Chain A
Amino acid sequence: MTTFEPEIVALCCNWCSYAGADLAGVSRIQYPPNVRILRVMCSGRVEVGHIIRALEMGADGVLVTGCHPGDCHYISGNEQAEKAIAATKEILTVLGMEDRLSLEWISAAEGQRFGQVMTDFVERIRALGPNPMKEAKVSRGNPGDVPGRLEDLVDRTGVMYCLECGKCEATCPITRMEIAYSPMLIVEEALRDLPEELEADKGLWNCITCGLCSHRCPSGVDFLEFVRQAREVETSSCDRCAHGGVFHALAGIMANEAVSQPGRLDWVEDGMEVAEKGELLYFTGCLPYFEPVLWDVDVHPAGALGSTVRVMNHAGIVPVVMADERCCGHDLVWSGQSGTAFAELARLNVEAIKATGARRVVFTCPEGLRTFAKDYPRVLGEDAIDFELLHITQLFAELIEEGRLELPEGTDEAVPLTIQDPCRLGRHMGIVDAPRKVLDSLPGYELREMEHHGLNAHCCGTSSWLNCGTFSKRIQVERMTQAEDAGADLLVTACPKCFSHFNCTLNEPGSDDTPPKPAVEIVDISVLLSKTLGLEGGGDR
């Protein structure tokens, strides 16, 4: 048996701890050679994503060091670092890896302390044993099974049918904000066989794959497949990922069978009834990871988890929830990073579901639903999914129709609300009626449709954690303004991503010059239903 030599990444701030490391060197202070120092100007620079990605890549431990509280060269960077590390710890707790991360304060004068901290951390990690990711057999990146020739891509996705009518350009919500992107242009680059231009074209990465252009394209060009595959041809990096690529890294981690998630079900509260086996399974997706990842934008979509279970319980359903549920892999699919990881995620999830005996799988997140319905069969075979897939709104609609949810009497004054059709639910899956059935049956509310709704809905502006930018924000503001124009007080979402992106924009601190935000409140459909049923205990969120 070979001895385990941990690999440690130490992120050191320039002014205190990196100087401390130098001092340690000058002072010839000995510490284990397992540490690789990565200098940043301030510990505040360290993001959740950096740490998760380091662990995904097989680092056995990550040590973040900064100036002592009150000493930060940049006044309060280390306070930020403290929050980020706390959030990261939350994520790592779910993964059972919280001990592999540590935050320490080391001043420029503390050469001795630097050596000690390093030695202690190395030993601590040595005791923990190797990061299960070290032996990872799968990885995300450019998948081997996608031929790299644009010509093949053109053939596979039918883009040669493009007649250059320009309807896609005139339809695309991004083109309307930002001329840098044109669906027709990226198709032309592929048709003319110009891979370098396609790769360099920001458009390929700006596309939010909302599918509105495909929906309207008279030539039947499958832009969604084209963009998905073109991204896989063109890249394997995650440079353009939002939030430091943390979700993509998490997907990479979860693709490895050896990784378990001991904290996966920590969200289950007392009084909620869940099971390990049963007829109906609730696939929670990445919701348990949302809160810590989005700590910095003050967005809290995870309430949907509890609300969903409460409503199910209220209807007499005890859902299966899986402790070893994996990321669905959606974000890898749409960022050109399927690698071998995606197929593995699919396999693990489907096997785990089959082990529960579930015949119906319910999703809060339309991305998960779409991925199971359309992308798993691609990698697992057409018959791999032999259980029913449904969106939570479909289940709710069914329960309401069957009279299994008793809704209270309505009041005279109805609160006007409107619904955001998530692109993955509406155009990708063709589900537009279910959320409306739910909302129509809610007493005290009145549904007012936005101009763009159903299959013509505008997207929330970001997808696959890939293209957060100015146009995303503008799309979000415009979409919320449309809701306001429709006379709605509430904008109901049926997707945790839509919920997060809208709230993110609403929560931006901005400045005095920032135009006023649309006056709508974003509410998750499960939470709204749960509240209406009186199941939320009067608490916030």
Chain B
Amino acid sequence: MTKDESVLIIGGGIAGFQAALDLAAAGVQVHMVEKSPSIGGRMAQLDKTFPTNDCSICILAPKMIETYGHKNINVRTYAEVQKVSGSIGDFQVEILQKARFVYEDKCTGCGACMEKCPKKVSSEYEMGLADRRAIYFPFAQAVPRVATIDKDACIHFKTGKCLLCVKECQAGAIDHKMEDEVITVNVGAIIVATGFDVYLPYEMEEYGYGRYENVVTAMEFERIINAAGPTHGHMQRLSEDKGRPKRLAFIQCVGARDVRHDRPYCSAVCCMHSTKEAMLAREHHSDTDSWIFYTDMRAFGKGFWEYIERGERDYGINYIRGKPGEIIEDPETKDLILYYTDRETREVRALEVEMVILATALIPRADAPEVAQILGIEMDEYNFFKAPNVMMSTDTTREGVYMAGYCQKPMDIPDAVAQGSATAARAMEAMAQNPKGGTSQKEVTA
């Protein structure tokens, strides 16, 4: 075993964790780079996971902590890869460690600073449904639990004044003069696991997203029903009444399987997460009724179809094959009227509900093209990273660079986990076949 094997992992979500933990357990040194101030990724935003309804943060948090605490894993949050040179077995990577203006080793995570910070901005983690301060943890269970100053929002960087946070911090951890750093690491292989963004369907006027307050995306709904979310787990509407919605409609394939919006692909997880959300809504309040409008009910994974049947049988979910044509808001009540075709009578019907949840397409990260350029890898026409050989879907177009999770194509959590492990295997293979500095296929004995 070579002691100097090391791997760079870009993206601190579940796929990256799995790759990192496998590699670390095998004695490989891992550098994990996460763009945001905390690792956790999308899974940290979810309430529960299908088809077991396991609590997402509950099963994720141990992974986050194990990853962050592992002696073989060096996690850099609030950092980005900015340059990659070299080749398989011997890459040189420049990492930009953005200044968080808080010393990680001094911050105790007490949170006093953010209580005093006067500047509020929309919280990315809460999908814009709540505010955070300019100095903040992205979420309560953030790892590391270290405050970060959002330079764009911070008053001090605009006016030179304020510094209330500095005054409040007993640990003396805050320093507005901190500067970005560039760190160089050498690695034998690179794994990219940057995840996905959520499509926000403003342009699909017929569904009124952005216009009607009670039309939300599935990811927003995850936050709304999450106990740690902006409504403290009280399922409530976003309209001024803050009423509890008793009738929910879920619309599938919003902006996905949709050539008009250049996204003909299926996002692969939405039939399931809508069912999950409808179940959870029923669990919150047993008098909640849900309708799921779909085109094909894609419950193809292990235990998925059984889950759908349970949704119908035990949770009273109404599954309706057919996409609503449009949604109209009742301006008085802020209720929503959906028009859809009843398959039995073939009549257009109107259904009045109190909230509509759009299962919108999941799309590659907005910065995927930059990442691709830095890594020298290709993307497909939708900006997912491309596998040149479809049968080796963890390989990118550059030797020694591998990929896992949703950045490659739509997939669910277990598939992303399996891919995380798979990339670890590919990285270990690569390093065994191309020992550091070696240009030939030198043998490495165990």
List the 4 closest pairs (A to B, CB-CB), nearest first: A170-B325, A171-B325, A166-B322, A220-B259
Chain B residues with Cβ below 8 Å from A98 are none
Known: A172-B325, A215-B260, A454-B205. 9 other contacts (CB 8 A): A161-B259, A163-B295, A170-B323, A172-B348, A179-B348, A216-B206, A218-B257, A219-B258, A456-B206
Q: Looking at the complex, which one of A163, A175, A217, A220 makes contact with B341 (CB distance below 8 Å)? A: A175
In the complex, are the beta carbons of B205 and A455 less than 8 A apart?
Answer: yes
With a CB–CB cut-off of 8 A, which chain B residues contact A455?
A: 205
B253 part of interface (Cβ distance < 8 Å): yes
Q: Shortest CB–CB separation between residue A330 and chain B, in angstroms?
A: 25
Residue pair A179, B325 in contact (C-beta under 8 Å): no
Residues of B within 8 A of A165 (CB): 253, 295, 322-323
Q: Does A28 contact B (CB under 8 A)?
A: no
A168 at the interface (CB under 8 A from B): yes
Tell whether B367 is near chain A: CB-to-CB under 8 Å. no
Closest-CB distance, B271 to chain A (whole angstroms): 13
A176 contacts which of B259, B343, B348 (Cβ < 8 Å)?
A: B348
Complex: how many Å from CA A455 to CA B325? 14
- Check A179–B323 contact: CB distance below 8 A: no
Complex Cα–Cα for A182 and B347 (A): 10
For A179, give its contact among B261, B321, B340, B346 (CB under 8 Å): B346
Is A351 engaged at the interface, CB distance under 8 Å to the other chain? no
A216 CA / B261 CA spacing, docked (Å): 10
- B residues near A (Cβ < 8 Å) are 205-206, 253, 257-261, 295-296, 321-326, 328, 339-341, 343, 345-348
CA distance A216 to B322 in the complex (A): 13
B347 near A179: Cβ-Cβ < 8 Å: yes
Closest A residue by C-beta to B207:
A216
Residues A218 and B259 in contact, CB atoms below 8 Å apart: yes
Q: How far is the CA of A312 from the CA of B84 in the complex (A)?
A: 63
Q: Which of B206, B257, B296, B343 contacts A171 (CB 8 A)?
A: B206
Residues of B within 8 A of A163 (CB): 257, 295-296
0/1 interface trace, chain A 157-196, chain B, CB 8 Å (1 if under): 0000101111111111001100100100000000000000
Closest to B350 in A: A176
Q: Report the Cα distance A168→B296, complex, angstroms.
A: 16
* B324/A170 in contact, CB under 8 A: yes
Q: A451 at interface (Cβ–Cβ under 8 A)? A: yes
Across the interface, do A167 and B259 meet the contact criterion of CB distance under 8 Å?
A: no
Closest-CB distance, B282 to chain A (whole angstroms): 25
- Identify 13 residue pairs between A and B in the complex whose beta-carbon atoms are under 8 Å apart, listed by A's number: A163-B257, A163-B295, A166-B323, A167-B323, A167-B325, A170-B322, A170-B325, A170-B339, A170-B348, A171-B339, A216-B206, A218-B253, A456-B326
CA distance A215 to B341 in the complex (A): 18
Knowing A163-B295, A179-B347 are in contact, say whether A169-B341 is a contact too (CB < 8 A).
Answer: yes
Give A168 to B343 CA distance when docked, in angstroms.
Answer: 13
- For the complex, what is the distance from the CA of A170 to the CA of B323, rounded to whole Å? 7
Question: What separation, in Å, do the CA atoms of A512 and B341 have in the docked complex?
Answer: 34
| Docked pose: A466 CA to B322 CA in angstroms | 30
The residue of chain B having its C-beta at the shortest distance from the C-beta of A182 within the complex is B346
Q: Please give the distance in Å from B331's CB to the nearest CB on chain A.
A: 9
Distance A219 CA – B257 CA, assembled complex (angstroms): 7
A169: chain B residues within 8 A (beta carbon): 322, 325, 341, 346, 348
Could you say which of A168, A179, A217, A218 has the most chain B C-beta atoms within 10 Å of its C-beta?
Answer: A218
- Complex Cα distance, B322 from A172, in Å, reads 14
Per the bound structure, the CA–CA distance linking A217 and B326 in Å amounts to 12
CB distance from B412 to the nearest CB of A (A): 22
Given contacts A165-B295, A170-B339, contact A219 B325 (CB under 8 A): no
- The docked-state distance in angstroms from the alpha carbon of A171 to that of B327 is 10
B345 contacts which chain A residues (CB < 8 A)?
179
Q: Bound complex: CA of A164 vs CA of B341, how far in Å? A: 11
- Alpha-carbon gap, A165 to B321, bound state (A): 7
Known: A165-B295, A218-B259, A218-B260. A170 touches B341 (CB 8 A): yes
A215 to B221, CA, bound (A): 28
Once the chains bind, are A170 and B260 in contact (CB under 8 Å)? no
> B324: which of A167, A172, A217, A456 is its contact (CB, 8 Å)?
A167
A456 to B: closest C-beta gap in Å: 5
Which residues of the partner chain A approach B321 to less than 8 Å between Cβ atoms? 166
Q: Please indicate the chain A residues that have their CB under 8 angstroms from the CB of B340 in the complex.
A: 166, 170
Q: Are A219 and B326 in touch, CB under 8 angstroms?
A: no
Which residue of chain B lies nearest to A456 when distances are taken between CB atoms in the complex? B205
Q: Please report the C-alpha to C-alpha distance between residue A459 and residue B14 in the assembled complex, in whole angstroms.
A: 49
Q: How far is the CA of A171 from the CA of B206 in the complex (A)?
A: 9
A 450-470 to B, binary, CB cutoff 8 A, 1 in contact else 0: 010011100000000000000
Cα A451 to Cα B328 in complex, Å, equals 8
Instruction: Give the shortest distance, in Å, between B330 (CB) and chain A (any CB).
Output: 11
User: Within the complex, what minimum Cβ distance (angstroms) separates B354 from chain A?
Assistant: 19
Q: Which residues of A contact B323 (CB under 8 A)?
A: 165-167, 170, 218
Interchain CA distance A161-B295 in the complex, whole Å: 13
Given contacts A165-B295, A166-B323, contact A218 B258 (CB under 8 A): yes
| CB atoms of B346 and A220 under 8 A apart | no
Complex Cα spacing A163 to B340, Å: 16
Residues in B neighbouring A217, C-beta threshold 8 A:
260
Q: A10 CA to B258 CA in the complex, in Å?
A: 58
Which of A170, A171, A220 is packed against the most chain B CB atoms within 10 Å? A170
In the assembly, what is the distance between CA of A219 and CA of B263, in Å? 10
User: Which residues of B lie under 8 Å from residue A171 when comparing CB positions?
Assistant: 206, 325-326, 339
Question: Quick one: which of A161, A166, A219, A456 has the most chain B CB within 10 A?
Answer: A166
Residue from A161, A165, A455 whose CB has the most chain B CB atoms within 10 Å? A165
Q: Which residues of B contact A451 (CB under 8 A)?
A: 328
Question: In the complex, what distance in Å separates the CA atom of A148 from the CA atom of B3?
Answer: 74
Q: How close is B209's CB to chain A, nearest CB, in angstroms?
A: 13
- Establish whether residues B258 and A170, one from each chain, have CB atoms under 8 Å apart when the complex forms: no
Q: Assess the B339–A176 pair: CB atoms within 8 A.
A: yes
Closest partner residue, chain B, to A177 (CB atom): B348
Docked CA distance A164–B321 (Å): 9
Q: How far is the CB of A181 from chain B (nearest CB, A)?
A: 10
Return chain A residues, CB-CB under 8 Å to B325: 167-172, 216
Within the complex, the shortest CB–CB distance from B203 to chain A, in Å, comes to: 10
Closest Cβ of chain A to B397, distance in Å, is: 29
A220 in contact with B296 (CB, 8 Å): no
A215 and B204 alpha carbons, distance in the complex (Å): 10
Whole-angstrom distance from the CB of B62 to the nearest CB of chain A? 40
Bound-state Cα–Cα, A62 to B124, Å: 77
- A197-254 contacts to B (CB < 8 Å): 215-220
Chain B contacts of A172 at CB under 8 A? Answer: 325, 348
Closest B residue to A170 by beta carbon equals: B325
The residue in chain B whose Cβ has the minimal distance to the Cβ of A164 is: B295
Give the complex CA separation of A456 and B339 in angstroms: 14
A419 to B275: give the CA distance in the assembly, Å: 41
Residues of A within 8 A of B346 (CB): 169, 179, 182
Give the docked Cα–Cα distance between A138 and B274 (Å): 58
CB proximity of A109 to chain B, nearest CB, Å? 59
Residues in chain A near residue B322, CB distance under 8 A: 165-167, 169-170
Shortest Cβ distance from B295 into A: residue = A165
Tell me the bound Cα distance from A220 to B259 in angstroms.
Answer: 6
Chain B residues lying within 8 Å of A161, measured Cβ to Cβ, are 259
Within 8 A of B (CB), among A416-466: 451, 454-456
A216 to B203: give the CA distance in the assembly, Å: 11
Bound CA span A171–B348, Å: 9
Are A170 and B326 in contact, CB atoms less than 8 angstroms apart? yes
Cα of A455 to Cα of B206 in the assembled complex, Å = 10
